[in-house]
Each structure stands twice: as structure tokens, then as C-alpha cells.
Amino acid sequence: MTAETCTIVRRDDAKTFYEGPELCHEYLRNESMWFGTSVVQPGDTGAVDPGHDGAWEVFYCAAGEAILDDGTNEYTLRVGDALTVPPNIPHRIHNRGTETVICVWAGGPGEPA
């Protein structure tokens, strides 16, 4: 990707990976930021993300009801809610509901791909 033009990243072209049963699509990762989505099915919990050295992350709930935890506290996100995660805070997504959870996430400054 170049900084001189806009770029469409199709879902099929995004980096796809699993963190436990959590399906992740990463659309962008560079030295400035990262951006992607997580899909968590009812009854599932994603793997613990250890946090990011020197970087904030934001989770936006686009579908379902997500519960994120930081190892000490739980935060319930409904559609339209966002959670900010400070640097180096471990976190994970739970779906204790009956609908699929979709969270959109972004963070920065970025990390190597």
C-alpha cells in the first residue's frame, strides 16, 4: 500500500487468522496503525491478546453483545459502544449471548506485520 492513493482491501484479501475460536480479519498493519475485525460465535471466547507495547487499541461493537475483559474487569459492549485499551493491557473477547459478535478494532502507533 502506498501513502499516495486510497486502497480498497477486500475481505478475501485481508490477513485471516484465529485467536482461539475468534475469527480475525486484519485489513491494515503498518508503522502507524492496525485495523481489523473479530467474529466470535455464541458461547465462545477469544484468546488473550497480551496487549501492545506503547500502543492504544480501540474495540467497537458492530454486532451482538461483546464482553471484553482485561484479566481483572469485564466491560460489556452493545452495538455502537467502544472500549479503549491502554498500552500493555491484556484483553480478550467473550460472547455469552445468542447472536454472533462482531468487533472492529484499531490501534496505534503500529507494529511490524
DSSP string, 24-82: EEEEEESSS-EEEEEEE-TT-BPPPB---TT-EEEEEEEESEEEEE-SS-EEEEETT-E
If pLDDT is split at 50, 70 and 90, which confidence band does 3 have?
confident
Q: What is this structure's pTM?
A: 0.93
In this predicted model, what pLDDT tens digit does every residue of 10-23 receive, in sequence order? Answer: 999 999 999 999 99
If pLDDT is split at 50, 70 and 90, which confidence band does 1 have?
low
Residues 6+ apart with CB under 8 A from 73: none
CB atoms < 10 A from the CB of 88, how many?
A: 11
